[in-house]
Amino acid sequence: MAARFTGGRQLRVLDVGAARGSQALRLARAGHKVTGVESDSALLSAARSALAAEPEDIRRRVRLLEEDGRETGAHFLPGTFDVVLCHDALMHVAEPDPLLAGLARVLATGGLLSILIRNADARAMGPAAAGDWTAALAALGPPEAAEAPETPELQGGAGPRGRPLRADRPATLRTTLSGIGAPLHAWYGVGLFTEVTGKAVPPVAGAEFERIMAAEERAGRADPYRAVAPLLHLCGVRD
């Protein structure tokens, strides 16, 4: 966002899957106007509590709605937002294309569609890093198969409520983004070193934290590292 939108203008941001609101609040503190949508009532309640603790000028810049991100077309006009974030929603839906098409529709020309996906091309990396070779082999599929199975269970594992999480191939998402008028502009690997096993990383601070972030940032922008990151950050631009 900072690289694409210069000059300090206030951006209209839609945050789909806002969860507890940390991303929406961070953007509001930076001066942007944010609409956060979240279908989980408990998460939305936590977001509203966090927003209530903010200064009045920040509270005025945030609107939180309890709704499904797939219904954006029913609630917002085309071109309503400069930036649409979908960082914790795509992995929870069975079919991503309708959701993404709806998000692109409410994006202004030249606007940024930012999505986070589980990387189906790297689904064997986590089990292997954790030493679970049975799961790693299952994720890779039969030796003679050109591609591993497409089941969400093999791709993404289980979510916090035990539901299967989907994963996507970046090549497929590239095609989807072009088809909905928001072709891929840039992409990055996320959590290459800290998320690959799926286990919690002990909290760190200070210089050690900065070194970890520097390593993640550099690897997430560079080939071949980013291609095997467990999460991918894809940015499309509305044409």
Q: Over range 149-171, report the average pLDDT.
A: 62
CATH number of 68-237: 3.40.50.150
DSSP per residue over 215-237, as a string?
Answer: HHHHHHTSTTGGGG-SEEEEEEE
* Residue 117 to residue 188: CA distance in whole angstroms: 11
Q: Residue 70 and residue 54: Cα distance in Å, rounded? A: 29
Average of per-residue pLDDT across 54-72: 92
Residue 153 has pLDDT above 60, yes or no: no
Token pair recorded at residue 122: 């790297």
% of the chain surpassing 70 pLDDT: 90
| 40 burial level (CB within 10 Å; 0-12, 13-18, 19+) | middle
Average pLDDT, the chain: 88
| Mean pLDDT computed over 200-225 | 91
- 8-19 pLDDT per residue, tens: 889 999 999 999
Domains in the chain: boundaries: 68-237
Give pLDDT, residue 165: 85
pLDDT at 157: 55
The pLDDT value given to residue 154: 38
Counting every residue written for the chain, the total comes to: 239
Over residues 75-93, the mean pLDDT reads: 92
pLDDT in tens, 111-150: 999 999 999 999 899 889 889 999 999 888 887 654 544 4
What does the pLDDT average to over 38-49? 95
Question: Which is higher by pLDDT, 160 or 126?
Answer: 126
Is the confidence at residue 162, as pLDDT, over 70?
no
CA–CA distance, 15 with 36 (Å, rounded to integer): 5
User: For residue 226, is pLDDT > 80?
Assistant: yes
